[in-house]
Amino acid sequence: MRKKTSFIALIASAALLVSFALSSFFNKNQVILDIVMSGLDNAHYHPQKLDNSFSEKFFNLYIKRIDAQKMFLTQGDVDNLAQYKTQADDQIKAETFELFDLASGIKVRRIDEKEAWYKEILSKPFDYKTNEEYETDPEKKSFAKNETELKNVWKQYLQYQTIARLNDLLVAQQKIKEVKAKRDTDAVVKPFDSLEVEARSKVLKITNDWFKRLKKINRKDRYAEYINAITAMYDPHTEFFPPKEKKKFDQSMSGQIEGIGARLQQKDDYIKVSEIVVGGPADKQKELKAGDLIIKVAQGSKEPVDIVGMDIDEAIELIKGKKGTEVRLTVKKVDGSTKTIAITRDIIQLDETFAHSAIMQNEKNQKVGYIRLPSFYSDFTRNGAHRCAQDVRTEVEKLKKENVTGIIIDLRDNGGGSLQEVIDMGGLFIKQGPIVQVRKRGGETEQLLDKDITQVYEKPLVIMINKNSASASEIMAAAMQDYRRAVIVGSESFGKGTVQTFLDLDNYLLPQFDSIKPLGSLKITTQKFYRVNGGTTQLRGVTPDITTPDPYLLFDSGEKELDNPMSWDEIPKANYEPFNTIDYPKVQKKSVERIKKNREFTLVSQQAKELKAKKDDSKYSLNLDKFMAEAKQYKEEGKKYEDLRKDIKNFDVNLLNTDVEKITADTIKLNREKKWIENLKKDFYLYEAGNIIGDMQ
């Protein structure tokens, strides 16, 4: 392996070939570590030097990942583990697991201890007159100095959970009292003591379920967590996938998904919504957003299950379900507030994830084409599946026949996809030239060109982006911006400027080791891409030509907030010829004037400040009266933003007649499309984009 007696990993024709002598000394964990490290050493864009500096950074990241909420380990436990703080590099090289073994053992023991603690704490009422506060942001907390201090943390946490539920029960009771004052009803008004016991019982059940799940986490799961702390030292997108995780990833890329239509990922102890599938139940319901943390799941009106700390497989099993059934998700929003969202599960049709178009009217009463592109999908299986560049071309041709004044391409929440599709799609709007530059490991660069001299569309073009537009979306927006071919509208994009590929670890085993398969896969960063102007989108993303207010504008987000992101840099600019047809100062000035006068955008700017203030104020009172007063205030403040989802006056959006004719017989699909159109009529960002098209004449 990595010692004198270990096997050696070699690269040949861009493939890893692992060979090693048969020995009972080798176990599966050692084999996985060896192949993963060989892949990182030989194929990663920016390999790391394993030294004491690496060890210290790795140690801090690993501690963060095994106890992100600082609820299980004391500072004494961290100090005990710190004996290996500068030895992690040596253990990785030697393929020994002293740090992993000690950390796993401590975590298992601490889980057992906390199980006894929470049962004791919840066995009696809390002091609801206290002036204590509970800090909900783990980044603002330190590890408890000792067990006494940690036990108080648990007491505050459980009291916070109980008060939240007690608040809901008391609000419901108040409504019952109001109804009974007006008319006879069988509803029962319960005394405070009964409601208090009910609230604690709910928290006890939820916490019991949480610990039941924690105890199901086995050594294999903890080992994958350890390996991924290593891979995360290289960059945020390099990741080890155990076999079940890889299978899940592959399923997420399939053509049909049954459930709520959201892609999920593990984020420390939380299940995070990484993407909303366009056209799916969550997208239509409109309340669940990328970045939300799911903390509880209920099947319809049944008691919710707390999924904090739950394995993502188990969480998905709770969330997905048969078409027509309801799931209720309690989520933590990025501003720190919580909300329960009811979603009716459905079959997510693949065609709704493809590019599709509509025609809208701007304030000048001009016809403007609109194309929504949810991702840069491609025919990865080579079986005749859709390709987004060809689909967009089809939509553009249809809109040209409608004689639209200009076209809007909506890349909001588009997380990326195929690099080749970006090149082909960019070529629709220029005559010929480079779309993106790619730099490989070692510094070799290559320009990826649109070689087709045909420019399919020449009229005004607007591209919409937001904080969740990433990777391929950023390449497309950046290319059109550098060519001065389009006006980019929205908020600064995500900032992902790297390319990944999958390595199947089983492919690097000799036949005599088939018995330990499957090992899993390694998703590894192999390239960085650059704009044609020479800069990378890494970290900085794409800055719009026209910035529109965003509810989360004041939040730190994107690639730069992930662990160990690669740096921004630049290479020489490519040889390209910009267009000179857009009067950017004129267009920008007119848009800024409209945005300042627009009531919805003014509300969004106000909302952004309030959301940031709520996020920064992450402490909650454990005094029941104060907690209820704050909860009532937050609810009242939120009412003024309900107008943001209303139809816009004199804003008309319609399906293309040719599309309606094709789906008239399919009433279900036609109704879906009509609901999509109804939502577009409420989109004041889209309305502004249409008016920008009018300014580009």
Q: How far is CA 269 from the centre of its chain?
A: 15
**pLDDT over 50 (residue 553):** yes
Note down the domain range covering 293. Answer: 257-348
Residues 92 and 143 in one domain: yes
Both 292 and 425 in a single domain? no
- Mean pLDDT is highest, among 156-160, 247-251, 674-678, for 156-160
Whether residues 75 and 145 fall in one domain? yes
Q: Quick one: angle between helices 98-121 and 219-231, nearest 10?
A: 120
Residue 16 predicted with pLDDT over 70: no
Burial tier of 570 (Cβ tally within 10 Å: 0-12, 13-18, 19+): exposed
Does residue 591 fall inside a structural domain?
Answer: no
Q: Are residues 120 and 217 in the same domain?
A: yes
- Using the structure block, give the residue that is written with the tokens 């969480």: 315
- If you ran DSSP here, which 8-state letter would residue 570 be given? B
pLDDT for res 269: 74
Q: Residue 434, preceding bond cis, omega within 30 degrees? A: no
Enter the pTM of the model.
0.80
Residue at a domain's end among 234, 267, 288 = 234
Q: Is residue 368 part of a domain?
A: yes
- Per-residue model confidence (pLDDT) at position 351: 63
Question: Is residue 305 in some structural domain?
Answer: yes
Asked if the structure places residue 469 within a domain, the reply is yes
Q: Which residues of 255-277 are buried (b: 16+ CB within 10 A; e: fewer)?
A: eebebbbbbbebeebbbbbbbbb
Interatomic CA distance for residues 218 and 223, integer angstroms: 9
Give the total residue count for the chain.
697
Instruction: Using alpha carbons, select from 262, 257, 304 the residue that is nearest to residue 284.
Output: 262
Q: How many CA atoms lie within 13 A of 532 on its CB side?
A: 26
- Computed over every residue of the chain, the mean pLDDT equals 89
Q: How far apart are alpha carbons 322 and 343 in whole angstroms? A: 12
Find the CATH number of the domain harbouring 289.
2.30.42.10
Gap between the Cα atoms of 192 and 55, Å rounded: 54
Quickly state the pLDDT bin for 649 (edges 50, 70, 90): confident
**pLDDT at 458 > cutoff 80:** yes
What total number of domains does the chain contain? 3
One domain for residues 219 and 133: yes
Which of the four pLDDT bands, split at 50, 70 and 90, describes residue 5? very low
Count of beta carbons in the 10 Å neighbourhood of residue 523: 16
User: Would the pLDDT of 488 be above 50?
Assistant: yes
Name beta bridge partners: 620. Answer: 134
- Quote the CA–CA distance of 614 and 552 in Å, as a whole number: 12
The pair of three-digit structure tokens given for residue 213, joined into one six-digit string: 């799940």
Q: Are residues 343 and 390 in the same domain?
A: no
How many angstroms separate the CA atoms of 577 and 330, rounded? 51
Task: Tell me: do 399 and 459 sit in the same domain.
Answer: yes
Tell me what pLDDT residue 97 has: 95
pLDDT digits (tens, 9 = 90+) for 100-140: 999 999 999 999 999 999 999 999 999 999 999 999 999 99
Residues 53 and 172 in one domain: yes
Per-residue exposure over 650-660, b if at least 16 CB sit within 10 Å of its own CB, e if not: ebebbbbeebe
In angstroms, the Cα distances linking 349 to 28, 255, 258, 277, 673 are 40, 8, 9, 10, 12
Question: Among 248-262, 298-312, 484-498, 565-579, whose mean pLDDT is lowest?
Answer: 248-262
Number of helices and strands in the chain (H, E)? 20, 24
Determine, yes or no, domain membership for 355. Answer: yes
Same domain, 338 and 355: no
Region of poorest pLDDT, from 217-226, 353-362, 398-407, 657-666:
657-666
Distance CA 469, CA 467 (A): 6
Q: Are residues 71 and 220 part of one domain?
A: yes
Sign (positive/negative) of CA torsion 309, 314, 319, 325?
Answer: negative
Identify the residue whose tokens are 């995360």.
232
Three-state DSSP class for residue 446: strand
Q: Do 322 and 391 belong to one domain?
A: no
Element containing residue 247 per DSSP (H, E): helix 243-252
Q: Is the Cβ–Cβ distance between 411 and 478 less than 8 Å?
A: no
Residue 502 makes CB contacts below 8 A (sequence gap 6+) with 246, 521, 522, 523, 524
Residue 147 shares a structural domain with residue 177: yes
21 pLDDT tier (thresholds 50, 70, 90): very low
